[in-house]
Chains A and B, each alone.
Chain A
Amino acid sequence: EPEVTQTPSHQVTQMGQEVILRCVPISNHLYFYWYRQILGQKVEFLVSFYNNEISEKSEIFDDQFSVERPDGSNFTLKIRSTKLEDSAMYFCAGGVLAVDGYFGPGTRLTVT
């Protein structure tokens, strides 16, 4: 059964550095999402992406964040200048219909 994959599984970066988190959704997915989960807290929506553009974003998703689907398969989340508070688990998710909600395994980002 196809799965959403994410790389890397763990990323350690210094404050102020740029990071790119990568996701490979399931091939027939049309909608793509990024969520984050700060340790011990609830999962929070960041951004949704449909038809090669952002369809919705939360207040967390400020100018430091961007998303791309450059080659039709990879779906990336870029954080331009990381802050300590960006340390979290970042989940990519995808779906075809409203009943879908398949998450990748997550990337644990640690900003030092």
Chain B
Amino acid sequence: AQKITQTQPGMFVQEKEAVTLDCTYDTSDQSYGLFWYKQPSSGEMIFLIYQGSYDEQNATEGRYSLNFQKARKSANLVISASQLGDSAMYFCAMRPPYNNAGNMLTFGGGTRLMVKP
């Protein structure tokens, strides 16, 4: 079974500063995928970034980067130059090895990020 843990229920960051949102996972699979989603107050789930377990380089997407440390089973999200619009809930999620049977995501409990002007 897979498990995702996000230990920070809420965080504050000053506008224009960088922030790291923690995510640790537990799995016995060698192949898996890690995702980060943003959920603003309007409720939709916005895909931010993906990291495959065999990817050697950390994933980056604009101001988002994923600090992947496989040995520590952590996949922290780094947001650089925070903006007021980054205030939202952030969810880390994991997908098991790719197969035709499911590929469903297991989510962590989320971190509420609040950006201060």
Which one, B18-26, B60-68, B78-86, B102-110, is touching chain A? B102-110
Q: Which residues of A contact B44 (CB under 8 A)?
A: 103-106
Whether A42 and B109, one on each chain, are in contact in the complex, defined by CB atoms closer than 8 angstroms, is yes
B interface residues (Cβ-Cβ under 8 A, vs A): 33, 35, 37, 43-47, 50, 52, 91, 93, 95, 97-98, 100-110
Partner-binding segment picked from A18-26, A44-52, A63-71, A78-86 = A44-52
Q: Given A42-B91, A42-B107, A56-B104, do A99 and B50 touch, yes or no (CB 8 Å)?
A: yes
Task: Classify the secondary structure of A's interface with B.
Answer: strand
A55 with B100, Cβ < 8 A, contacts A102-B47, A103-B37, A106-B44 known:
yes
Complex Cα gap A43–B95 (Å)? 13
Say whether A98 contacts B43, CB under 8 Å.
no
The reply to whether A31 and B103 contact each other, CB–CB distance below 8 Å, is yes
Report A-chain residues with C-beta under 8 Å of the C-beta of B91: 42-43
Chain B nearest CB: distance from A65 CB in Å?
15
Are the CB atoms of B103 and A43 closer together than 8 Å?
A: no
Are A44 and B107 interface neighbours, CB within 8 A?
yes
Given A99-B50, A101-B35, A101-B47, A56 and B101 contact (CB-CB distance below 8 Å): yes
**Do B103 and A95 have beta carbons less than 8 Å apart?**
yes
A–B Cβ pairs within 8 angstroms, 29 of them: A33-B104, A33-B105, A42-B91, A42-B107, A42-B108, A42-B109, A42-B110, A43-B91, A43-B93, A44-B107, A45-B104, A45-B106, A50-B100, A55-B101, A56-B101, A58-B104, A93-B45, A95-B103, A98-B95, A98-B103, A99-B50, A101-B95, A102-B47, A103-B37, A103-B44, A103-B47, A105-B43, A106-B43, A106-B44
